[in-house]
Amino acid sequence: MNLEKDIGLGVAGNFTGHLEQAGEAADFKNVTVKDAKAPKAIFPFYLPKSAESRLDTFLHTFPLSSDRVNISGTISENHQIEPEVGVLCEIEYDGDRVSALKPVAFGAYNDCSIRRPGAKKISEKKNWGADSKGFSASLISLSGFDESSEISSYRIACFLKRNGEVNVYGVDSAARDYSYMYGTLLSWIVDRMNNQKDEGPAENIHEYLLDCAKPEMALISIGATRYTEYGETHFLQPGDISYVVVYHERYTGEEIMKMVENDSFASDGISALVQKAV
C-alpha cells in the first residue's frame, strides 16, 4: 500500500468535547457552521507533490508511519495521541471540482498533534516531519459506507504504555457515534473540499487538490474521540508506546486491553496501530 500519492486530510471537531479537551475550541470561535453538530473544518496533513505543484510547503513531507512517532525534533513541545478512524477514499471529479468520495477501506489512525498555542492553521500542529502521524498497516475493506456497512460494527480504543504499564488514553467509542457519519459526512467533506476558504484556522483545499494534480485517492481521518482524564493530561515521552485499536464489537474492551498488555492482536476484526515514541 503506497499512500505517498494520496492526499491526506483530517476532519476537525467531529466528536463532541474533543476540541475543548485539546484546548483548541478557541481556534474555531469565529468559524460559522449551519448545523451545531457539524464538524468545524477539514485540514491537510499531507500534500503529494506533482509535476504541476507550485507550492513550497512542509506539507509535502510524507508523515505517516505504522510503527513509530518521531518527537525528537520537537521534544520541547507537547505531543498528544489523537485516536481516530482513517478512511481511504477514491476521489471522483467533475472537471476541477470533487463530485463524490467512495470509501474503500478503513483502519486505526493516530492524528498525533502538537499542542501549539498560537498556530495560525490546523496543519501547523499536524505535520512536523517524517513519522509524525500514524496509520495501521492492517486495513478493513468496505463494501459501502452507511448504517449497514462494516464500519458500523467497529469501536475505537486508545492506550499508552509507559514503563511497561498500560494506561487507558481515549474513551472507548463506537465509530457510528461520530457527530457526522456515513452519507452526511461524505457530502459535508465534498462540500468543504470544493468550497472551504482560507480563513481562520482553515485552508483552501480545492486549491491544494489542483496543485496536487487532482489525486485519485484521499486518506481522511474522520475525527478524534474524547480523552480519559489520563489522556487529557499526559503527553508523549521518548520510549512510550501508543496504541490505537479499531476493533469489531464482538470483542470486549477487556479483551482488547489484554491484547495491548500482551502486544498480541487477533488477526480478524481488528486494525491495530502500535507506535513507539522516539
135 to each of 221, 243, 246, how far by Cα in Å? 9, 11, 11
Nearest C-alpha neighbor of 174 from the set 124, 226, 221: 226
* Cell 468550497 found at: 195
Domain-wise residue ranges, the chain: 7-144+174-226
Hey, which residues does 156 pair with through a beta bridge?
Answer: 173, 246
Interval 205-222 mean pLDDT: 97
Rounded CA separation 165/79 (Å): 19
Within 8 A by CB and 6+ apart from 255, the residues are none
pTM exceeds 0.95, yes or no: no
Q: What would the grid cell of residue 206 be?
A: 480545492
**Over the chain, what is the mean pLDDT?**
93
On the question of pLDDT at 70 being above 80, the answer is yes
Q: What is the pLDDT of residues 220-267, one digit of tens each?
A: 999 999 999 999 999 999 999 999 999 999 999 999 999 999 999 998
Tell me, what's the pLDDT at 119?
87
4 to each of 7, 50, 166, 184, how far by Cα in Å? 8, 11, 32, 28
Q: Which of 52-56, 93-97, 112-116 has the lowest mean pLDDT?
A: 52-56
The widest CA-to-CA distance across the chain, in whole angstroms, is: 53
Give the number of other Cβ atoms within 10 Å of residue 254's Cβ. Answer: 8
Tell me, what's the pLDDT at 197?
95
Q: What is the pLDDT of residues 172-187, one digit of tens each?
A: 999 999 999 999 999 9
Rounded CA separation 150/142 (Å): 6
- At 21, is the pLDDT very low, low, confident or very high (cuts 50, 70, 90)? low
Sign of CA dihedral 187, 111, 198, 50: negative
Q: What is the pLDDT of residues 136-146, one digit of tens each?
A: 999 999 999 99
Residue 234 near residue 75, CB atoms below 8 Å:
no
On the question of pLDDT at 217 being above 90, the answer is yes
Top-level class of domain 7-144+174-226: alpha beta
On the question of pLDDT at 23 being above 90, the answer is no
Q: Could you tell me which residue, 25 or 170, shows the higher pLDDT?
A: 170
